[in-house]
Amino acid sequence: MKETTKALTELELNNIDYKLHEYPSSNGPVAAIDVANYMGFSVDRLVKTLVTTDHHGGYYVFCLPAANKIHLKKAAQFIGVRNLTMLQSEMFEELTGYVHGGCSPFGLKTKLPVYVEEKIFKWDTIYLSGGRIGLTIEINPRILQSHLDAHIGNFTH
């Protein structure tokens, strides 16, 4: 039986090419560096999906290399809001439909604006969550821009 998540369903319905990869996750979320080492690729190619809020009803998705940290002040300036904070756990699953550590920019429960760190475009393919912990998709980073109308910028440390 083929694995299915909301992210994979969205990719399939839109005929978007991707490769599926799994890694052991029986003990919950694992560190990005460990995932990259296990899978045999540079940690810079592993992309995490973060969700932020401006506390005025705005929610924003950021995709950036897992080894980097988001610079919230730079990110807020980039999108034109006063400030941003990470979304609290209790709102996260309700808004995205995903659990922390398994969030994908594809198949989000609520349509949200997506912002992508420009550093990921130096790769032909990147790895990001397939919609659950332990499931990763390998995909061309340009798909984020073309399919999700993602905005490209620099908002990492």
| Tens-digit pLDDT profile for residues 59-113 | 999 999 999 999 999 999 999 999 999 998 889 999 999 998 899 999 999 999 9
Cβ burial 49-61 (10 Å sphere, 16+ → b, else e): bbbbbbeeeebbb
DSSP 43: G
CA distances from 12 to 9, 39, 88, 129 (A): 5, 23, 30, 15
Q: Considering the chain, what is the average pLDDT of its residues?
A: 93
HSE at residue 61, side-chain half, CA atoms within 13 A, is 26
Q: What is the pLDDT of residue 89?
A: 85
Q: Work out whether strand 114-117 and strand 151-153 pair parallel, antiparallel, or are unpaired.
A: parallel
pTM for this model (two decimals): 0.94
pLDDT score for 27: 73
Amino acid identity at 20: L
Give mean pLDDT, residues 13-41: 87
